[in-house]
Structure 1
Amino acid sequence: MARTRSPTAGPLVRNHALALPCSLALFSLFVLLSLRCGSLEIDNATAWNALFDYDDRIQGQIVVRELRVPRTLLGAVAGACLAVAGAITQGVTRNPLGAPGILGVNTGASFAIVTAIFVGGFVSPEGYVWFSFIGAAGAAVLVYAVASVGPGGATPVKLALAGVVITALLGAWTTSLLLLDQETLDQARFWLAGSIAGRGTDEIALLWPIIVTALISAMALGRQVNLLSMGEDVAAGLGQRVNSVRAISAAVVVALAGGAVAIAGPVAFIGLAIPHMVRALVGPDYRWIILYSLVLGPCLLLGADVVGRVVVRPSELQVGIVTAAIGAPFLIYLVRFTKLAEL
């Protein structure tokens, strides 16, 4: 019989003074792997010199400096945003399968990008950033508005149902536009697969004020998410303004997930998996879950990107394809070996 860890068991990590530096060391390892691995293998010395003693006559240093450093930075930022957004989503909605996609963020961004290409022919990365961010925010607002109709406001169940409906609707419209125009499909399909390849840091330069503000806000929300994760009645009884906290949390999730989608495209699984992994390590306290998600989210995305680079060398798989391949067995594990009703 399969053995499972009881959801009431204590956290594996009790000494955060040791665990947090170990997490940062793991993050550093994945950064190094991201700089080294690919169609051209780079040794440690070349990677180090590319960062601190750059010589533009050496091919390996050019590859690291011009291609892999921006790619690693994009992956780290997107992974952190998705993981933190997923942690807050699961806590606020009390849904163990909660992820930013529950608010329609990924589908909204995809719809906005495809519509912009279909109608106006926008193909620049800067245009992708703003259209994807606006689409993500618009979809989340629409989901929240639909869920707010009726008594009780935007309850977790109504948010999930509204998210399913809006996601299906926007997904159908997106598919229709892609089928209507081959040129739109050709221009959008690489972004729709989710990828951090071949991009510079212009996206981060545009979005960093929003992303930094949202990450700081997420860290400050830890205690409020703890209360809300225990149930609305408990939170209200302890003096929390439930609707206000839920609205602020939704805004933070949209900012983080919208920024991540603008940077890397609709990458799945990160926002679902990392909070579960972190919760198994540190327990149910969202102050720690959010902090460790911030550190470990980039590890998973960078690791998936490295796998995509090396498994089909000299070609590569987009990171969104790799994370989707990982996501299916992880979902089976969640359903089979854990009690999803308990967070």
Structure 2
Amino acid sequence: MLVESPPNPRPGASAVPAQAPPPRRHAMRATGLLLALGLLVLVCLVSVAVGAKALPLADVWHGLFHSGGSGDDVLVREVRVPRTVLGLLVGAALGLAGAVMQALTRNPLAEPGLLGVNAGASAAVVSAISFFGVTSLTGYVWFAFAGAALVSAAVYLLGGSRSANPVRLALAGTAVTAALYGYVNAVQLLDSAALDRLRFWTVGSLASASPGTIGKVWPFIALGVLLTALIARPLNALEMGDDTARALGARLTRTRILAMLAVTLLCGAATAACGPIVFIGLMIPHLVRTITGPDLRWILPYSAVLAPVLLLGADVVGRVVARPSELQVGIVTALLGGPVFLHLVRRKRMVQL
């Protein structure tokens, strides 16, 4: 039996590299996700072991598994462990919210604050402190979350409700954000107590982590994670344009409502617990897209894993560089990530949605 051999290429012609078959691409993405999970576990261990106060590894191990009530044991179990858990939750929430926001607006430079979520939470907390006398973090978590939810609903209505599109939503969010931050600045200038209590919260910090705070925010983050998983497929269709999404059977209005609800739950809960941390939800999904491509079914899990890596890593750096005090994680993420993101934006080939 004769087998026809492929024709020889012309002299000087370069062979076109064959694309990897889909199963191989999926295997590579799955392997990369496993490596990212391993990196996350390593960063969590470092977050528990390293802090503003240097502790031997033996003392850290004793505090985790054989706590006897000493000062070092309390530091490890009641301060560093809740701080690490909160960093995991908040990082995953911000990464997922950024990925959904970029898909919703079809803008690779969008971030959760574009819908006014951070501004709504900040305005609610300022009001709670100045007008209702709320003084504890666990007291104004609910105000922050309610403010984020109300502002997200207002942005959706101002953006056109059922006729909303990415441009209208972005413009409405920008306008509402500017107005609310003007209100926040005015109240802080008139009320020194509000200014003193908010100055650390507004830059973003994990320093106030506690089991009580974690217990209040994790149900909302879990619900937001579930929503993002449910809308990943229709959001993929929405990225290709409204007409194409309709042709593929996607329900545009329902998808946009669920996407805004997911962003509100994720970013609202994260902002309520730690204050507005604006960089992670912007950079991580954009960076992940260079690894996974435009498929949200891969972007979402990668973002949920790598965003906590960046947040907890920045928190550890902030605890170490200014010993015995610390630098808030919101400042560290901006200092570390800002130049990196500028480099990504200035590259010749920027990732497009």
The TM-score with structure 1 as length reference comes to 0.91
Matched, 1:320 2:330: yes
Task: Tell me the matched-pair count.
Answer: 332
* Change in CA separation of 1:251 and 1:339 when aligned onto 2, cut-off 3 Å: farther
Query: Any unmatched runs of 5+ in structure 1?
Result: 1-8
List aligned pairs for 1:110-121, cutoff 5 A: 110-121=122-133
Q: Is the 8 A contact 2:109 2:286 kept in 1?
A: no
1:1-343 matches, within 5 Å, as: 14-57=27-70, 59-148=71-160, 153-337=163-347, 339=349, 342-343=352-353
Instruction: Give the Å deviation of 1:16.
Output: 3.5
Shift of 1:220: 2.2
5+ residue gaps, structure 2, are 1-18
**DSSP-derived class of the 1:240 partner:** coil
Q: Distance in 2 between matches of 1:94 and 1:115?
A: 34
Give how far 1:46 is off: 2.9
Deviation for aligned residue 1:233: 1.2
- Residues 17-64 of structure 1 show CA distances to partners (whole Å, capped at 9, x for unaligned) of 42222111100111011111122223433333322222223x432211
CA change 1:340–1:158 in 2 (3 A) is farther
User: How well do the aligned residues superpose, as a CA RMSD in angstroms?
Assistant: 2.0
CA distance in 2, matches of 1:12, 1:47: 41
Cα contact 2:116–2:148 (8 A) shared by 1: yes
Shift >6 Å, 4+ stretches: 9-13
**Residue 12 (structure 1) shift:** 8.7
Cα deviation, residue 13, structure 1: 7.8
Q: Larger radius of gyration, structure 1 or 2?
A: 2
The whole-number CA distance in structure 2 between the counterparts of 1:90 and 1:138 is: 21
CA distance in 2, matches of 1:12, 1:257: 31
Query: What's the TM-score, normalizing by structure 2?
Result: 0.89
Change (3 A) 1:277 1:335: closer
**Larger RCO of the pair (alpha carbons < 8 Å, separation 6+):** 1
Query: 1: distance between equivalents of 2:328 and 2:342?
Result: 23
- State the identity as a percent: 46
Aligned counterpart, 1:6: none
Moved more, 112-121 or 79-88: 112-121
Determine the C-alpha separation between the residues in 1 that align with 2:26 and 2:68. 43
Paired letter, 2:243:
D
Per the TM alignment, residue 338 of structure 1 is displaced from its structure 2 partner at its CA by 5.2
Using the alignment, how far apart are the partners of 2:279 and 2:187 within structure 1?
26
Letter of the 1:84 counterpart: L
